[in-house]
Amino acid sequence: MTPNSEAELADAIASAKTPLRIMGGGTRPVGNPVAGEVLSTSGLSGIELYEPGALTIVAKAGTPVDEIEAALSKENQRLAFEPMDHRSLLGTNGTPTIGGIVAANVSGPRRVQSGACRDHMLGVRFVDGTGTILKNGGRVMKNVTGYDLVKLLTGSYGTLGVLTEVSLKVLPKTDTQATLMIHGLDFPQAVKAMSAALGSPYEVSAAAHMPDMGDGAVTMLRIEGFEQSVAYRAEQLANELATFGEITVETDAGKSAKIWTASRDVAGFENADGDVWRISVKPTDGATIAASLGADQLFMDWGGGLIWAVMPKGTDLRARMNGTPGHATLIRADEATRATLGTFHPELAPVAKISAGLRNKFDPKGILNPGLMT
């Protein structure tokens, strides 16, 4: 089913007697398989309101992200949370939609400075599991009410409601950027260097580390802003981190941007033979976790707080975390591995009870992506 209006979507959900598999652009099939009729939001497309002066944009859930970014670019603005494009990693086609981005709370390297997708949400419209149309929050920053429910829907993977419209805060683009690269650090040194950079006054907007996979380890730090400011801050930061070892600086903005697009999309993992995991931990625990995994390939982002790992097929990565607090999500694996290990990190009993209660409240028939997050 591909409803072309919010009312049609509500009628489809209200009349549904069997499970529904909610789909946006079909680019990110993350989660346990859902046996049900496909309900696509791709027919709900278009920018409904864009006020550059108010730094807000409102779009229907099925609107392609490329369309939104093109409109923002004309006004020298952007989605500051830098959403990842999963297509190369997951080997999928389709078109990323803004509803899919919000439903999965997809956030890129700039999260360490600007926050996650959830932090840029102003309002939502959605249809719950009974077919009721609901709205929460506002269309502009001065009218953000009920913000907790907006955050609840962001990252719920369509299990609480089907998004029909989202309202987001946007930010101006920067003039230029540069990337500092510290060479040859191990995991503990890299996390220390990234922590020092992020704690400095030089406004680092991304911090990632690639261990030695044959070309030498490199720790990357991004600085953005006006040209003279970027040059000054890059020089000062390089001086401050000089004790960590050899540092080179990529001052070409285009080349720097390519570095962070590759980081955002975890380039290099797309053809890896094995399961792909995404681990979220405290940055201070990042080095310990990275060293304990025994991964075939590994990449650290968010100053050590996000770890991407390629593991031998069927490996229970969560067991290798040795009780360290965090969340390990199985991003790419075959159905047998998903069935055995589960996609999402098991919830603690009190949290699981709250989650079940919320699903029962918003989806009493149990038809919206049932089993996706269990």
Could you give the domains of the chain? 6-172 (3.30.465.10), 176-264 (3.30.70.2190)
Q: Is 147 left (phi over 0), alpha (psi -120 to 50) or beta?
A: alpha
If one counts every other C-beta atom within 10 angstroms of the C-beta of residue 239, the result is 10
3-state SS assignment for residue 298: strand
3-state SS assignment for residue 56: strand
pLDDT the model gives residue 213? 64
Please give the helix or strand (H or E) that residue 353 lies within, else none.
Answer: helix 349-362
pLDDT tens series, the chain, 374 aa: 888 999 999 999 999 989 999 888 777 666 666 778 888 998 999 999 999 999 999 999 999 999 999 999 999 999 999 999 999 998 888 889 999 999 999 999 999 999 999 999 999 999 999 999 998 876 655 554 544 789 999 999 999 999 999 999 999 999 999 999 999 999 999 999 999 999 999 999 999 999 876 678 999 999 999 999 999 999 999 999 999 999 999 999 999 999 999 999 999 898 889 999 999 999 999 999 998 998 889 999 999 999 999 999 999 999 999 888 999 999 999 988 988 998 899 888 999 898 999 999 999 999 998 887 76
| Biggest distance spanned by C-alpha atoms of the chain | 65
Structural contact between residues 128 and 363, judged by C-beta atoms closer than 8 angstroms = yes
* Token reading at 47: 């920018």
3-state SS assignment for residue 162: strand
C-alpha to C-alpha distance for 298 and 304, rounded to whole angstroms:
12
**Strand duo 37-40 + 20-23: pairing:** parallel
Classify each residue of 61-91 as buried b or exposed e, where b means 16 or more C-beta atoms within 10 Å of its C-beta.
bbbbbebbbebbeebebbbbbbbbbbbebbe
C-alpha to C-alpha distance for 174 and 48, rounded to whole angstroms:
25
pLDDT the model gives residue 138? 67
pLDDT the model gives residue 146? 46
pLDDT the model gives residue 234? 97
C-alpha to C-alpha distance for 129 and 246, rounded to whole angstroms:
56
3-state SS assignment for residue 104: coil
C-alpha to C-alpha distance for 329 and 119, rounded to whole angstroms:
21
Whats the size of the chain, residue-wise?
Answer: 374
Residue 87's φ and ψ, nearest 5 degrees, are -60, -45
Structural contact between residues 205 and 114, judged by C-beta atoms closer than 8 angstroms = yes
pLDDT the model gives residue 278? 96
**Nearest-5° Cα angle at 40, 39 to 45:** 145
